[in-house]
Structure 1
């Protein structure tokens, strides 16, 4: 049971560690869901938007972390 709790703590810690990454990803998913469900945009286009958005968010997070580690 303690192993399960430790795993859950690590998972929650990963999401809390980079709040900006988590929040922007959730906003992206909500926006794509609104496109798909609210506006009836084609699912393939929504998937492309989701993929591109995730890649942009990931690249921004990596560059931000690299700048942070390089700064004196």
Structure 2
């Protein structure tokens, strides 16, 4: 039972750890679902929108993390010495 609790805690921590990333991915998924259901877009095109949208969100999150890591005012920069 402890292992299951630890796994669930890790899963929740992944989503809570970067709330902006989680919210953006949920927005992409919801937007794609609306396009397919309401906009009558073909599911294959919806899959492409989902792929491109998730890649854009991922690249933006990586860029934001890289900028935060190199920003001298953030306190996250590692010393080379």
- Classify the TM-score, shorter chain: over 0.9
Between structure 1 and structure 2, the one with the greater Rg is 2
Separation of aligned partners in 1, 2:48 and 2:56 = 12
TM-score between the two structures when normalised by the length of structure 2:
0.86
Separation of aligned partners in 1, 2:45 and 2:68 = 34
Which structure 2 segments of 5+ residues have no match?
73-81
Which structure 1 segments of 5+ residues have no match?
none
Judging by fraction of residues, say which structure has more helix.
1
Task: Tell me how large the CA RMSD over aligned residues is.
Answer: 0.6
**Count of residue correspondences:** 72
Kindly indicate whether structure 1 or structure 2 has the higher relative contact order, using CA contacts under 8 Å at least 6 residues apart: 1
